[in-house]
Amino acid sequence: MRIHLLSVGRRMPAWVEQGFGEYAKRLPKECDLRLVEIDPVPRTKSGDRVRAISLEGERLLQALPKGARVIALDVGGQSWSTEALAAELKRWLASGQDVALLVGGADGLSSKCLARADARWSLSPLTFPHPLVRVILAEQVYRAWTLLQGHPYHRG
């Protein structure tokens, strides 16, 4: 199974690439975490925000792997504890189906992305900068995997 993190944005700071990479490389091949960067739509003061969200949404949907279970990262989604995420990960692994995690751009995900999602996941009611979300997601997937393995990384 592969977990595809589809995230709007490019040219992240080195600490983001290092943080994501550190946790992604710790995961075994049966729980491969891959990052797919989606080009953002340039924002201008007079730009059409709704159009930008829509275009980014189209790009995300086009990048979806065939047959993948789609999880939209959305503040209105379900909040999972570490244990609940581990249970989700266990189901994902058992199914063998790839998973695509969708992270929108500066203005969030399009309604088409939310409609396409099989589930919505909220990391927190707080707003995080999108570069940080990549690192948080990678660490949380790794933490959930270690919990399933009985590894001492998670000290819940």
The arithmetic mean of pLDDT across residues 70-93, rounded, is 96
- 119: in domain: yes
CA distance 114 to 53: 12
- Total domains present in the chain: 1
- 155: in domain: no
The annotation status of 127 as a binding-site residue, yes or no, is yes
Determine the pLDDT at residue 142: 97
- 46: in domain: yes
CA 42: distance to chain centroid? 21
User: In the structure encoding, which two tokens stand for residue 65, read together?
Assistant: 């792997």
The annotation status of 132 as a binding-site residue, yes or no, is no
The annotation status of 125 as a binding-site residue, yes or no, is yes
The annotation status of 20 as a binding-site residue, yes or no, is no
Amino acid, res. 1:
M
User: Per-residue pLDDT for 61 more than 90?
Assistant: yes
Q: How confident is the model at residue 76 (pLDDT cuts 50, 70, 90)?
A: very high
Amino acid, res. 23:
Y
- 14: in domain: yes
Can you give the CATH number for the domain in which 46 is found?
Answer: 3.40.1280.10
Q: Kindly report, residue by residue over 14-43, the tens digit of the pLDDT.
A: 999 999 999 999 999 999 999 999 999 987
- 135: in domain: yes
Q: Kindly report, residue by residue over 94-144, the tens digit of the pLDDT.
A: 999 999 999 999 889 999 999 999 999 999 999 888 899 999 999 999 999
Determine the pLDDT at residue 154: 75
CA distance readout (Å), 49 to 46, 82, 96, 130: 9, 34, 37, 17
SS3 33: strand
Residue 99's domain spans which residues?
2-149
- 97: in domain: yes
The annotation status of 131 as a binding-site residue, yes or no, is no
Q: Please tell me which residue, 152 or 115, carries the higher pLDDT value.
A: 115
Q: How confident is the model at residue 151 (pLDDT cuts 50, 70, 90)?
A: confident
- 154: in domain: no
Q: pTM value?
A: 0.93
Sheet holding 2-8, edge to edge: 32-38, 2-8, 99-103, 69-79, 119-122
User: Per-residue pLDDT for 55 more than 80?
Assistant: yes
Long-range contacts of 92-95 (CB under 8 A, 24+ apart): 92/1, 92/3, 93/1, 93/30, 93/31, 93/148, 95/1, 95/69
